[in-house]
Structure 1
Amino acid sequence: MKNRNNRPRRVLEDSYVDSNRGQRFKNEESYDYEEYNNYDNNSFEDYDYPYDSYPRKKAKKNKVFSLNLIVSLVFLTFIWVLGLFYYPTRLLITIIYLSLLLISVFIRLSKKAVLAKIISCILMLVNIGFVGSFIFIYLYADFNLRSTNIDGVRANPNLYKDYSYNIFISGFDNEGSINTASRSDVNILTSVNMKDKKVLLTTIPRDTYLPIALGGQNQYDKLTHAGIYGVESSMKTIEYALKTPVEYYFKINFTSFIDIVDVIGGIDIDNEYEFTAWNGVHFPAGKLHLNGEQALSYVRERKSLSEGDIGRGKHQQQVMMAIADEIASPKNLFRYPKIVRMLKKSIATNIPTRVLFNTAFEYGKSSKFEVEREYVEGYGQRGLPSFAMPNHNLYMYVPYEESLEKVSTNIRNLLNN
């Protein structure tokens, strides 16, 4: 017989047995005398009834910590496998995440259980929100930007393991679809060294007289005509002329340039001197905020500039860095989905999402990037043969060999450092 606590009742003591002895004799036929004698002689011991011990309560699992751990491991695995963030930053993020997990453990062990649960839940929600948003934005950008390599140009093997690389910026002189082949009026080679936090912008004027690769059959012509044969022709032409590998390209036209500037909310520049553009837009000296249309007028004008085409090249470099500043700015964080959609529609590039992300992140978090500017120097001449337009008396910009060599040396020094 068991009591309500599920324990076996102990054998009745002698006093209780004696008081009920009469009742026991009434049922002698079924009575166990040997058992009674044991009671009577006080020689019995408590019956050893087998029974189970108290069931132990299972320890409650810390679901909040487990979820935090899973989310954190997913995030850390994601950035390490894809190589997001450069190594020092990636290692620091890993240490911070592991430290936060330890803090959450100590919080759960706190005597103030209610407060500990609240803080742990807050940490969990912040972690899930950040990791989920980060992975979604990256994968969304990667999915959309993969389709923009419309020219099918494969990136050269990167000699500097992503820390240093060249990006060819090509600006086409047409409107509408980026798929339309046209002349390349803007030709800027952007050399990036992420370790030293340096950027070198090298402008090669559109009329520079060079052997045109691929479709140009290595015949001499002005650089702008290389764009007719495709962006890879321009890349190879510059690669041979400056003796440096050109891994990536970024191609835009008039329409996409306007879209880029407008979607980031305009750009801020410091105009060196007053001038009026070819379409009547006036630009006073000083700090200016430009929308897409104004920025396009600013970078296309050359005749009213004291330095002519050289001045136009400087304006193009200036605007390009202003766009980079705005894209990397934290205030445009919530515009990234919109920016990505615009880029998918308006640009062509073979830059991997990982490289774009790492470059934008490092540039955005650092205020110590040193930006240098180069310009291929030369002289103007007419009457030189043109492969694309024979029998035409075209203006050509013949580069000085020493200028090409100087630019080539500066690019190699920046990348190798």
Structure 2
Amino acid sequence: MRIVVAHNRYREAQPSGENTIVDAEIAQLTAAGVEVLPFIRSSDEIPTMSKPAKALLPISPIWAPKAQHDLDRLITEHRPDVLHLHNPYPLLSPWVVRTAHRHGVPVVQTVHNYRQVCSSGLYFRDGVICQDCRGRALGVPAIVHRCYRGSRVQSALMATTLAVHRPTWKSVDRFIALTTAVADHLRDYGIPDERIVVKPNAIPDPGAPAPLGDGFLFLGRLSPEKGLDLLLEAWRRHPDGTLGPLRIAGDGELRPLVEAAAAERDDVTFLGPLDRAGVRAALEASAVVLATSTWHDVLPTVIIEALASGRPVLGTALGGIPYLVGADSPREPAGTGPAAVASAVPGDGVVPLPSGMVAGEAGWVVPPEPAALADALPVARAGAAYLTPAARARYERTFHPDVVTKQLIDIYAAVARTPNPA
């Protein structure tokens, strides 16, 4: 099988989980015997472009002529079975879908964000969830609020791009939704069920989990949408030291907020940005990983890393987080089934979960509110040991590369033999 993987890489100065996932997926497919033809552009190329090329940049999200010419040549020469698109902006453009279809090549797209509708891709503005552009033919609110790169002109261009390419997106042969929440987003956009497949990302297997550590770990970008304000406000509702340590790792604009919290309390430690070895050590030292996003976070990779290391997750009930911890479907009432196991306290038997807290297969979710998160923290700490085996089992069954790569190859095979209904 021969697959074109098309992706516009984000700038290297801006850490991108999407870049990492695309690289890993190419490696996993290659190891599985798939011939991968990378069709990659990078936003880091923009400063070195010629003046004529830069002059065309404003229209490149709508139509990138050089990318179409290069893709034409690639498809003509190699005759791929499928084109797999990730991020098309700004140097590829969704027009690559039309170029592939003109050659009779079916297209699969992995949906990493909400940019079919939202110019920023986040459904998040000014510190709160925003879906003002849902259902609109043209995303005027995005223009008014400068949602794309803080520029009204660039926001107008992106909103126009999304309007122009609505038929393009609706012609894609198969959408890969990373979680059930993304699948719901696509249905709301008008994509029929038969063209949506839920397939998460995978991360390499780190091996057998280390013995459970103590306390909590927040690992991620230190930015408002990741819920650091929410986490620290909930944490302060408990006396210093009663929950064990809170370790916070990462970097970003809210770093001063975290440094202040670490100076204020003995049970808060700021680890700073970590390399892979540092991430592994921080996971091993902890008992529960926190995912306190206040936006509809699509697929926080840190959750998959936690499950692979046998660490349950306490997160907010937003975006893909419930799916990742196995809490996106109705469960038994508190006191029975998995909920009872998850809320068991050593020596005390089964205790009911706090109001709003939902137990999943490999963790818990709560509303994105300080009181709800504060009530959930001691329950999660007490129940961590009970969910450790389930966390690792969920990784092996759902997020292991062997499982996910097979799913992806099956998707390719299905679209390669099925005519496009659009």
User: Structure 2-normalised TM-score?
Assistant: 0.21
Greater RCO (CA < 8 Å, at least 6 residues apart): 1
User: Structure 1-normalised TM-score?
Assistant: 0.21
Rg comparison, structure with higher value: 1
Higher helix share: 1
